[in-house]
Amino acid sequence: MGILNVTPDSFSDGGEHLSREAAIAHGLRLLAEGADLIDVGGESTRPGAGRAPEATELARVIPVVSALAGSGGVICVDTMRAVVAERAVAAGASVINDVSGGLADPDMLQAVAGLGVGYVAMHWRGHSDVMTSLTHYDDVVGGVVAELGERREAAFAAGIAPANLVLDPGLGFAKTAAQNWELLGHLDRLSALGQPLLIGASRKRFLGELLAVGDELRPPKQRDDATAALTALLAAQGVWGVRTHTVTAQRDAIEVAQRLAGARATTPA
Ligand code: PMM
């Protein structure tokens, strides 16, 4: 899933694709590099960010979705708003990626059920301006499994088909770096929820902390090799997808993981 942030302030690429033309060109580039889905977002969720007004989000996202629809890739829209989801699907999107898992907008789950499209429900505890204060868990893996399980039940109760639901632990959303690693180390417990998993690790701060020199974090654009290393390990565990800023390296990582899994599955002569 290639990331197309049409925002002035996303943490690693804010402002780079804010003009409609630049956004469309970047989306086409991600598809040419082999992305299966393009995730178009018009609202930054970096820690501390405030909400973008609905009209602003619509103005950023809808023209880009319309232009990319029919280009061969699946268009996904990263939004917490039911109205944006409805307008995006009318413009050609077929998956909604909701970082709040239906918690931010009480109309979202019903809207997605009515649209009959794919839905990514991410684990979330509150908006970006407060999420760094929401990192208390007795057991982060157990807590995220329980809370994501509740979102899965709410999605099913609203009428979203099980085949249309993907779950995401929401790395960095109300989680510390150590908690992100703990979740990544126990994905089998998230898989036990019975839905495909999407993982968004690309360029995130916990990778910058891992690769820091002294107090100096590795800058976001120098976290791509670590992102690809993680992608290979995630692909080996059978995750459904990775949400990423760079596509070629992730495709290569997935090829390596799949080829190795194939070799393991064959019995030596
Ligand atoms: N991370 C960001 C935004 N949207 N959606 C899902 N499903 N999972 C994520 O981990 C996720 C997301 C923040 O990253 P960005 O600013 O690079 O888009």
- For residues 229-256, b (16+ Cβ closer than 10 Å) or e, as one string? ebbbebbbeebbbbbbbbbebbbebbee
**Is 3 in a helix, a strand, or coil?**
strand
CA of 241 from ligand 1 middle (Å) equals 13
Q: Work out the number of other CB atoms within 10 angstroms of the CB of residue 163.
A: 8
Q: Give yes or no for residue 253 CB within 6 A of ligand 1.
A: no
Read off the pLDDT of residues 148-158 as tens digits, 9 standing for 90 and up: 999 999 999 99
Q: Give yes or no for residue 98 CB within 6 A of ligand 1.
A: no
pLDDT at residue number 143: 98
Read off the pLDDT of residues 81-117 as tens digits, 9 standing for 90 and up: 999 999 999 999 999 999 999 999 999 999 999 999 9
H helix runs in the chain, sequence order? 20-32, 54-68, 82-90, 108-115, 140-158, 177-185, 187-191, 205-210, 224-236, 248-265
CA of 3 from ligand 1 middle (Å) equals 8
State yes or no: pLDDT of 269 exceeds 80. Answer: no
Sign of CA dihedral 58, 109, 72, 33: positive
Q: Give yes or no for residue 200 CB within 6 A of ligand 1.
A: yes
Pair 13, 3: CB distance under 8 Å? yes
Run of H or E residues at 41: strand 37-41
pLDDT at residue number 5: 94
Read off the pLDDT of residues 216-268 as tens digits, 9 standing for 90 and up: 999 999 999 999 999 999 999 999 999 999 999 999 999 999 999 999 999 87
Best residue among 122, 127, 180 to mutate for probing ligand 1, ranked by most atoms within 8 Å of CB: 122
Read off the pLDDT of residues 184-217 as tens digits, 9 standing for 90 and up: 999 999 999 999 999 999 999 999 999 999 999 9
Closest ligand 1 atom, residue 12 Cα? 17
Taking the C-alpha atoms of residue 83 and residue 107, their distance in angstroms, rounded to an integer, is 9
State yes or no: pLDDT of 7 exceeds 80. Answer: yes
Read off the pLDDT of residues 138-178 as tens digits, 9 standing for 90 and up: 999 999 999 999 999 999 999 999 999 999 999 999 999 99
State yes or no: pLDDT of 9 exceeds 90. Answer: no
C-alpha pair distances (Å), 268 with each of 105, 219, 258, 259, 263: 54, 44, 18, 15, 9
Read off the pLDDT of residues 30-89 as tens digits, 9 standing for 90 and up: 999 999 999 999 999 888 888 999 999 999 999 999 999 989 899 999 999 999 999 999
User: Kindly report the CA angle at 239 between 225 and 244, in degrees rounded to 5?
Assistant: 40
Q: Give yes or no for residue 235 CB within 6 A of ligand 1.
A: no
Would residue 204 show up in a list of annotated catalytic residues for this protein?
A: yes
CA of 111 from ligand 1 middle (Å) equals 21
pLDDT at residue number 158: 98
Q: Give yes or no for residue 11 CB within 6 A of ligand 1.
A: yes
Taking the C-alpha atoms of residue 228 and residue 236, their distance in angstroms, rounded to an integer, is 12
Q: Give yes or no for residue 170 CB within 6 A of ligand 1.
A: yes
Q: Work out the number of other CB atoms within 10 angstroms of the CB of residue 98.
A: 28
CA of 174 from ligand 1 middle (Å) equals 13
pLDDT at residue number 17: 82
Using pLDDT thresholds of 50, 70 and 90, give the confidence band for residue 16. Answer: confident
Instruction: Compute, in degrees rounded to 10, the torsion defined by CA atoms 139, 142, 144, 145.
Output: 180
Would residue 87 show up in a list of annotated catalytic residues for this protein?
A: no
Q: Give yes or no for residue 171 CB within 6 A of ligand 1.
A: yes
- For residues 176-190, b (16+ Cβ closer than 10 Å) or e, as one string? bbebbebbbebbeeb
pLDDT at residue number 268: 77
Q: Work out the number of other CB atoms within 10 angstroms of the CB of residue 57.
A: 25
pLDDT at residue number 188: 98
Best residue among 243, 246, 250 to mutate for probing ligand 1, ranked by most atoms within 8 Å of CB: 243
% pLDDT > 90, the chain: 91
Taking the C-alpha atoms of residue 92 and residue 124, their distance in angstroms, rounded to an integer, is 27
How far from each other are the two terminal CA atoms of the chain, in whole angstroms?
38
Which one of the listed residues 81, 87, 151, 204 is annotated catalytic? Answer: 204
